[in-house]
Structure 1
Amino acid sequence: MTPTTAEETVDVFGPDSMLRRLVNEARWGLAVTRATVLEAAHPQIGAALIGNSTFVTHPWRRLRNTLVSTQRILDPDQHVRSREAARLNRLHARISGTDPQGRRYDAADAEARAWVVATLFESAVTMYRLSGESLDGPAMERLYAEFRTVLALLEGDSDQLPATLQEFWPYYDDMIHHRLESTEAVRVILYRLFANVPAPPLLRNHPAVWAAGRAVAGPVAAAITIASLPESFCRRFALPDLPGARALMHGAYLTAGFAARLLPSGWVNAGSFMSLLDPDHAGGSGPWESVRRKAGQAAAMVRLITPAPDEVNHASRSADQFFAEVLDQTGDGHLAWPDLAAMAREIATRLDLDELDEERLYNAYAAWWRELQSHLDADGDGRVTRQEYAASAASLPSSGLVKIADVLFDVTDVDDDQTIDAQEYQRLFRAAFHRDLTGRADSYSRSAFVRQFLSFMSGQQRSIAYNSLLS
């Protein structure tokens, strides 16, 4: 079998593509969650996740962005696919560093990226099997070829994955037994993410409701995920085999499979479920919209009965709060370049920036980081603690933030008329226009836009729009 090249992807993902159909099903989330644990056990990927990712502090944002990116990668338009592949390559090229053992990691490492694709393929096969829908030989080979084509689109070739399905399984077993490690990222996903996952946007203002549900759902999700992993993986990393977990896991997968086969496609579409969790997600008028509205009403009623401390309506927040809620994007308790890079990455992803505008945005954030370091990093260790920030936040200069605001205005003002209108504003924030836009004639001038950005990023004023984007 000749290695697939990027040029061969032109007509691969047509209407009959197995992969395009699969990733638009809500049950794909089961496979992705399982694959993420296997990916995190790769030393390169695990180190990159811990050092740079926001998957623990912003899992719903990460889920939404992954869904959008996958849809772009599988778009019938070759230009859309190529543009997204280039964006992902730039994103990964910016993520590198050294793990606690002193080993270098690089998110653009070809072997690691191939392992991501391998885990997704194997998890998809497992998902079908556990859902009572095993793939036959030709279907499995076709699905494997489609996954290899995705890798070719990103890498330029698919040489890092075995050429045939028969060669894939020995490769996969060898990775499980000899290449993977019990990384911190695996432990964080299984024992911290599920237990402490923040509320989705729908329930963000109803903490009591979410906390009650998470107390039950968190351990169940962890048990289901562990029970679905390869037995050799679980044995090697001493993951617990809880009583009843396998029956629970089989029940979850079978239920998802029955739903995918029996319910109307609109009810089990990934986009519909995302709109249920996130009212700002595109497609919020789907079949789950009435359910979402009723859930919101019920949550509001529960909150009236069991009110939680309400800080959302306060005009300002302390420097300590702002540090925790906005600046510390990675959730490690410190402010460092990966936190600011995560903000730039989110904005670039939201606006689908081209390479030039993306570079301008990252450079502006880098200038702000140098400014923060020079004023706040008292011990010179390359990061800022919450205490260091809180002690000096009131006296910080704002020239770096002004640079970011100027770039943000330029990339949001698509028609270059020096104002940001409703459509441009919603493209950035995906929030209700009438609640947030305060400029004259339903538009923002550059000065008004910069003022609001500086007010938010200095912690002086809350903003529904910027909270939805960065908090």
Structure 2
Amino acid sequence: MRPVFGPGSQFHALFNDPRWALAIVRATVLEAAHPQIGAALIDNSTFVAHPWRRLRNTFLSLQRMFGADEHVRNREAARLNRLHARLNGTDARNRPYDAMHPDVRAWVAATMFESAVTMCRLSGQPLDRDAMEQLYTEFQAFLATMGDGAGHLPPSLHEFWTYYDRVVEEELENTEAMRIILYKLFDHLPAPPLLNGLPTLWAAGRAVAGPVVGAITVASLPEPFRRRAGLPELPGAQTLMQGAYLAVGLARLLPEGWIKADTIADLLALSPDSDDPRARTITALRDKMNRAGALIRLITPLPPQPDTATQGGLQRSAEEFFAEVLDQTGNGYLDWPDLAAMARELSSRLDLDEPEETRLYNAFADWWRELQAALDTDGDGRINAQEYATAVPSLAGPALIKVAEVLFDATDKDGNQTIDADEYRALFRSAFRRDTASTEAAYTRSSFVKDFLSFMSGRRHSTPYDPLLAQA
């Protein structure tokens, strides 16, 4: 009998399959079409402003949940439950949503299972009955690890398809979150951190790839839902979709180890300042491309570019800081979900347990109350860019100082009142570049708090903190 988790499981065999890139997009669209999940994404998720960060965190979570280590799996399940418990509210039609609802969580597992089955079928290698039964058992075990009781997913694979068709035909909607993923996200997808220095190249590639990915995804969705949601299908989209799955599937013929999902996700999230050898290699290649581009511009002059001393250098306007750092959800406002997203990202990076995680969330909640009292001039419960820019606030009040103190304590795992190189990398995922010739070779509490407050005051770019909270 094959193991349910870890090496030898069906999910483990599929995890590094390059076709997952298409299947995950498809599953995410089907999740976002569920009204409760769509509302939670719109209100709380950073997938619009920080899609690469969200992608890496998703891959890391799946790796932990389906890995062989039971302790790691249970710890990740507890973390996800704490995260989901904080995601509840009402949608635009005043309908309640709750990320802890077992039927909602069952639908997330259902979309991942069904999209895995579909990706194999569309690429000409359908799963046989035994493999499909095994994969379904693994997703049922996934929900059981999360603490959900049996019955929210049907007990047998045969009954699953009836359940799946019913949800698709009766419950899914053309939600705002789904439309953003299909028609806006790829058109405006920011470059991953490591490619930030190549905006023209990235924009050109995105202009071609974005509509193609959208068309492929729409064509792969269940036909009853496409019809009911009014999703247009371009002529030839079915052929394009099947060709894409077949072409991507050929990558599985590469030597073992060449395609690893977590390695690719890590690479996309790397900061150019990272001490990872891969970052240095790609940064060197990017520098050569930039020099080549400079030569081309000498031969064919382009219109004058903005002054990088003010727009791309150390200085940052209040509007830039608001959009890049404070508005984590990308909805144009600063409110509690934005600060909660910061706490969530910091907690995930540091792999915090419940007491430390709750302490960090509480510190951010106190800061939100302080900001709201000072900047919410129209009393609508949120802060817009104009309110923030007009006030030109110094954000380093007592509550933000408390956030910095709590974050330092969480990062300082050994409690020696300094952050060493390993602790630094755990938080920033970049090189430890303190001045070893000075008396501050280590990162002391006072230095950490000072740097954090300087960054969160919003006027200057910061090498370590920009990748932490500003980059996509």
Quick one: distance in 1 between partners of 2:291 and 2:266?
Answer: 19
What is the match of residue 271 of structure 1?
Answer: 262
Q: Deviations over 1:59-86 (max 9, x none)?
A: 0000011111111112211110000000
What is the match of residue 4 of structure 1?
Answer: none
Cα separation, partners in 2 of 1:442 and 1:224, compared to 1, 3 Å: farther
My pick for the range that moved more, 371-380 or 388-397, is 388-397
SS in 1 for 2:89: strand
Quick one: distance in 2 between partners of 1:441 and 1:26?
Answer: 45
> Is residue 70 of structure 1 aligned with residue 70 of structure 2?
no
The letter for the 1-side match of 2:354 is E
The letter for the 1-side match of 2:377 is A
Q: Deviations over 1:231-286 (max 9, x none)?
A: 111111111111222222111111121211x1012222113322443335999667
What is the match of residue 335 of structure 1?
Answer: 334
Q: Deviations over 1:410-442 (max 9, x none)?
A: 000011000001110011000122389997453
Quick one: distance in 1 between partners of 2:107 and 2:436?
Answer: 44
1:465 to partner: Cα distance: 1.1
Quick one: distance in 1 between partners of 2:350 and 2:198?
Answer: 29
Equivalent residues in 2 for 1:71-220, closer than 5 Å: 71-220=63-212
Quick one: distance in 1 between partners of 2:437 and 2:453?
Answer: 15
Cα separation, partners in 2 of 1:293 and 1:257, compared to 1, 3 Å: farther
What is the match of residue 351 of structure 1?
Answer: 350
1:146 to partner: Cα distance: 0.6
The letter for the 1-side match of 2:99 is A
The letter for the 1-side match of 2:454 is S
Cα separation, partners in 2 of 1:396 and 1:418, compared to 1, 3 Å: closer
1:15 to partner: Cα distance: 1.6
Q: Is the 8 A contact 2:59 2:265 kept in 1?
A: no
1:289 to partner: Cα distance: 8.8
Q: Is the 8 A contact 1:361 1:407 kept in 2?
A: yes
The letter for the 2-side match of 1:265 is E
SS in 2 for 1:464: coil
Quick one: distance in 1 between partners of 2:383 and 2:372?
Answer: 7
What is the match of residue 374 of structure 1?
Answer: 373
Quick one: distance in 1 between partners of 2:71 and 2:22?
Answer: 30
Cα separation, partners in 2 of 1:438 and 1:45, compared to 1, 3 Å: farther
1:290 to partner: Cα distance: 6.0
Quick one: distance in 1 between partners of 2:204 and 2:175?
Answer: 30
> Is residue 404 of structure 1 aligned with residue 403 of structure 2?
yes
Cα separation, partners in 2 of 1:297 and 1:148, compared to 1, 3 Å: farther
Cα separation, partners in 2 of 1:347 and 1:437, compared to 1, 3 Å: farther
Q: Is the 8 A contact 1:149 1:158 kept in 2?
A: no
My pick for the range that moved more, 265-274 or 200-209, is 265-274
SS in 1 for 2:67: coil
- Percent of aligned pairs with the same amino acid: 58
Q: Is the 8 A contact 1:439 1:445 kept in 2?
A: no
SS in 1 for 2:124: coil
Quick one: distance in 2 between partners of 1:280 and 1:177?
Answer: 43
Q: Deviations over 1:40-99 (max 9, x none)?
A: 110100000001101011000000111111111122111100000000000000011111
Quick one: distance in 2 between partners of 1:201 and 1:296?
Answer: 15
My pick for the range that moved more, 79-88 or 66-75, is 66-75
1:107 to partner: Cα distance: 1.1
> Is residue 254 of structure 1 aligned with residue 253 of structure 2?
no
Cα separation, partners in 2 of 1:413 and 1:117, compared to 1, 3 Å: same
My pick for the range that moved more, 427-436 or 120-129, is 427-436
Q: Which runs of 5+ in 1 are unaligned?
A: 1-8
Q: Deviations over 1:164-220 (max 9, x none)?
A: 000000100000110111111111111110111111112112222211111111111
Among 1, 4, 20, the alignment partner of 1:28 is 20
What is the match of residue 458 of structure 2?
Answer: 459
Superposed CA RMSD:
2.4
Quick one: distance in 2 between partners of 1:370 and 1:299?
Answer: 45
Q: Is the 8 A contact 1:117 1:151 kept in 2?
A: yes
1:291 to partner: Cα distance: 7.0
Q: Is the 8 A contact 1:421 1:442 kept in 2?
A: no
Quick one: distance in 2 between partners of 1:438 and 1:212?
Answer: 44
Provide the TM-score with structure 1 as the length reference.
0.92
Among 213, 226, 244, the alignment partner of 1:221 is 213
Quick one: distance in 2 between partners of 1:46 and 1:393?
Answer: 34
SS in 2 for 1:378: coil
Cα separation, partners in 2 of 1:240 and 1:343, compared to 1, 3 Å: same
Quick one: distance in 2 between partners of 1:439 and 1:364?
Answer: 32
Quick one: distance in 2 between partners of 1:223 and 1:18?
Answer: 29
Quick one: distance in 2 between partners of 1:24 and 1:439?
Answer: 45
Q: Is the 8 A contact 1:272 1:284 kept in 2?
A: no
What is the match of residue 384 of structure 1?
Answer: 383
My pick for the range that moved more, 89-98 or 397-406, is 397-406
Q: Which runs of 5+ in 2 are unaligned?
A: none
Q: Is the 8 A contact 1:50 1:184 kept in 2?
A: yes
Q: Deviations over 1:300-340 (max 9, x none)?
A: 64367368543675222111111011000011111000000
Cα separation, partners in 2 of 1:368 and 1:275, compared to 1, 3 Å: closer
Quick one: distance in 2 between partners of 1:459 and 1:376?
Answer: 15
Quick one: distance in 1 between partners of 2:355 and 2:48?
Answer: 30
Cα separation, partners in 2 of 1:190 and 1:387, compared to 1, 3 Å: same
1:151 to partner: Cα distance: 1.0
1:157 to partner: Cα distance: 2.8
Equivalent residues in 2 for 1:27-46, closer than 5 Å: 27-46=19-38
Cα separation, partners in 2 of 1:23 and 1:316, compared to 1, 3 Å: same
> Is residue 326 of structure 1 aligned with residue 357 of structure 2?
no
